[in-house]
Amino acid sequence: MIKSISYWAFENGMAGTHSIEDALAEAKEAGFEGLELAIGTEGVLHTAMTENECREIRKKIDESGLIVQTTATGISWGLSPTSNDPETRRESIELHKAALQITAWLGCEAMLMVPGVVKSPISTDIIPYDMAVERCCEAVKELLIIAEKVNVDICLENVWNGLFYSPIEFANFIDSFASDRCGIYLDVGNLLGYQQHPPHWITYLGSRIKRVHIKDFTDNFNWTGAYSFCDIGAGQVPWQETIQALKKIGYNKTIVAEMMPWDQSLIARTSVAVDKILSDEPDQE
């Protein structure tokens, strides 16, 4: 697996204003092999960028020696493809189309997409479940046309959105599309927020898992508007069993630490923590 870090983990990464060159350098210095970029509607990497601008960023990536295979976008949190407003749904789809094209211009292979919202602690939307699934399906069908054209995987993430909280339902949704370009971006830490066991999801979903996010979480969940996740290894994710499950399904791609909020030692200590969980040695604590 390719030890990677999310752009969102860097200072001002969530705002989209951290220099990509700096993120590449800082990730490499900390011992990461790869970096996941983030596409927003504004910032240093945004949906209105040109092909030439993206090619210039790719040159910097290649010069850095880091592996950059994926992008992520949180567009759906502000403009959900499952919204009750048809104009919002249309805008969301068009922005995700642009993000897929930018991902391709950057020379990346896969893009994370939040599949919409039923109900979430970080969204005001409350959408009937069946409508959300139907609208998500419509959006993915349209986006897969672009994904096939530009050779980029659409990876739907399991997030706190009230949608796809069962691996069986999630698998059935992915399997409903006649395209290998549609898959799952499994976020291991997010699963604990709704009382799930990551190794079981990995075993069941198998090759549908195209990319993996990692972070840790404890059971004292009390949403206050701030992130309540913890350092990798300090929470309740069963890391040894989780990593072994990924190995058993043959997963050997990027494993991206999505750590927030930023502080001065976050990148360095996350690097050490990821090395530990990727080791074959059992936890000695």
Residue 141: partners with Cβ closer than 8 Å, 6 or more residues away: 177
Helix, strand, or coil (residue 187): strand
| Predicted local confidence at residue 170, as pLDDT | 98
| Predicted local confidence at residue 228, as pLDDT | 66
| Predicted local confidence at residue 148, as pLDDT | 98
| Predicted local confidence at residue 222, as pLDDT | 58
- How far apart CA 128 and CA 139 sit, in angstroms, is 16
Tell me whether residue 105 is in a domain. yes
| Predicted local confidence at residue 285, as pLDDT | 42
Q: pLDDT per residue over 29-62, tens digit each?
A: 999 999 999 999 999 999 999 999 999 999 999 9
Tell me whether residue 284 is in a domain. no
Pairing of strands 2-6, 110-113: unpaired
Tell me whether residue 150 is in a domain. yes
Number of domains the chain contains: 1
Residues 223, 225, 228, 231, Cα dihedral to 10°? 170
- How far apart CA 35 and CA 31 sit, in angstroms, is 11
What's the token pair of residue 57? Answer: 């960023």
Nearest-10 crossing angle of helices 167-175, 198-205: 30
Tell me whether residue 285 is in a domain. no
Q: pLDDT per residue over 151-161, tens digit each?
A: 999 999 999 99
User: What is the rounded average pLDDT for all residues in the chain?
Assistant: 94
Domain of 49: which CATH number? 3.20.20.150
- How far apart CA 79 and CA 75 sit, in angstroms, is 6
Q: What stretches in the chain show pLDDT beneath 50?
A: 283-285
Whether a cis peptide bond, with omega within 30° of 0, leads into 261 is yes
Residue 109: give the domain boundaries.
Answer: 2-278
| Predicted local confidence at residue 194, as pLDDT | 86
Tell me whether residue 78 is in a domain. yes
| Predicted local confidence at residue 123, as pLDDT | 78
Tell me whether residue 173 is in a domain. yes
Tell me whether residue 98 is in a domain. yes
**Model pTM?**
0.94
| Predicted local confidence at residue 280, as pLDDT | 62
Tell me whether residue 283 is in a domain. no
